[in-house]
Amino acid sequence: MTTRAPARVVVVGNGIAGLTAADTLREAGFDGELTVVGDEPHPAYSRPALSKALLLDGDDLTSHELPPAGHGATELLGVRATGLDVDRRRVTLDDGTQLPYDRLVLATGSRARRLSGLPGELTLRGLDDALSLRGRLAAAPSVVVVGGGPLGMEIASGCRAAGCEVTLVSQGVPLVLQLGPYLAGVFAGAAREHGLTVLETAAARIEGHGANARVVLDEGTVLEADVVLTAAGDIPNTEWLAGSGLTAKGAVPVDSRGLVRPDVAAVGDLAAFPTAHGVRRVPLWSSAIEQAKVAARALLRGDEAPPLDFQPYFWTEQFGLSLKAVGHLPAEGEPEYVDGAPGGGPALMRWPHQDGTADAVALNYRIAVPRLRRMTRAAA
């Protein structure tokens, strides 16, 4: 294979994964023609902020804004990729444009998994979703949130803060799948104190007509509210890759450098990459950034570029609690308290594993990620 420097790189996707890939290509010395395709008309923004500060921050509508891109790419925004021909090295866009490339970055992310086709079922995934929900909350409507993961709980928290009556429907205890029983218990207590009603159910479905949606639980209970919002996970945007041979099980599997093949990388929420717990998607902010940094270099340098050394960083803010975690949650059993004590005050916790490493969690405790990461390592 020739090692000639690529002249044209196309990045499909303008979220933090695509943006970081484009930035990193430039940092790594790529000075050729760079094109970024984004299906939203907005510049890249911080998605984690949408369900946190953006729902809460008074009149401040800037908490999701990122510094302007410095990669100097040709940006095609409000345009969607519809096809990929890996043999001819061309991306097709929905306006009919064909974009040739020498190297390609797939970063089209994922979308909200919906439980119905009804427009009355809201989801929160993109900036427009968040601004629309924010607008609705001004009138303090009643709200049912379906989904007991971090996103559903953050949205429920934001709606409570806006003065809404909020019912959250969850399969089992909220957050237990993501955080483990101990931390889920802490959050359940805080949510209760903040007036959240939680209904546990085996399954929920959305029924109704048009803008009029209601939630029907497994046992037949019907929940009606002014706003019905679901937060039931995400689905990778891989449809445009149909026929490319690059997808498997609804995601794009990549190697330890984020490459699908030598000339194509996949980064962010649609990529399944090797982790300590198998090949999987890790749809988190810092995951997207780290994947993109590694893959951009690998596109230019192949195996000479360092592989991904990944350790998840996750945070959530809700019901007066701020949690930061490094490691592979959920955490089982009781933690060691490195600082603070049980009871809801600021605390630094550690769940040790048999090999000496640990998951580290800070609750209402300001600590930098590098320090939290150090707490996960085995003692020397």
Partner 1 sequence: MRIVLDRPRCEGHGLCEEAAPQLMHLDDEGELVLDREEVDGADAALANAAARVCPVAALRVA
- Residues engaged in binding partner 1 (CB under 8 A): 19-20, 23, 27, 46, 48-49, 53, 62-67, 70, 285-286, 289, 313, 315, 317, 322, 324, 365-372
C-beta closer to partner 1: residue 54 or 159: 54
C-beta closer to partner 1: residue 290 or 359: 290
Peptide bond into 330 cis (omega under 30): yes
Bridge partners of 347, per DSSP, are 363
Distance CA 350, CA 327 (A): 10
CB of 236 to partner 1, least distance (A): 21
CB of 72 to partner 1, least distance (A): 12
Dihedral (CA of 105, 54, 126, 206) sign: positive
Nearby residues of 129 by Cβ (< 8 Å), 6 or more positions away: 50, 112, 122, 123
Distance CA 64, CA 44 (A): 9
C-beta closer to partner 1: residue 240 or 314: 314
Of 56, 54, 81, give the one whose Cα is nearest residue 66.
54
CB of 225 to partner 1, least distance (A): 30
C-beta closer to partner 1: residue 81 or 321: 321
Distance CA 104, CA 9 (A): 6
CB of 26 to partner 1, least distance (A): 9
Q: What is the DSSP letter of 376?
A: T
Torsion over CA of 172, 174, 180 and 185, rounded to 10 degrees? -110
CB of 30 to partner 1, least distance (A): 14
Contacts for 216-222 with beta carbons within 8 Å, 24 or more apart? 217/169
Backbone region of residue 333 per phi and psi (left: phi > 0; alpha: psi in -120 to 50; beta: other values)? left
C-beta closer to partner 1: residue 141 or 340: 340
Judge residue 273's burial from the number of C-beta atoms within 10 Å of its C-beta, 0-12 exposed, 13-18 middle, 19 or more buried.
buried
C-beta closer to partner 1: residue 111 or 373: 373
C-beta closer to partner 1: residue 273 or 365: 365
Assigned token pair, 226? 């002014």
Peptide bond into 342 cis (omega under 30): no
C-beta closer to partner 1: residue 56 or 216: 56
CB of 364 to partner 1, least distance (A): 11
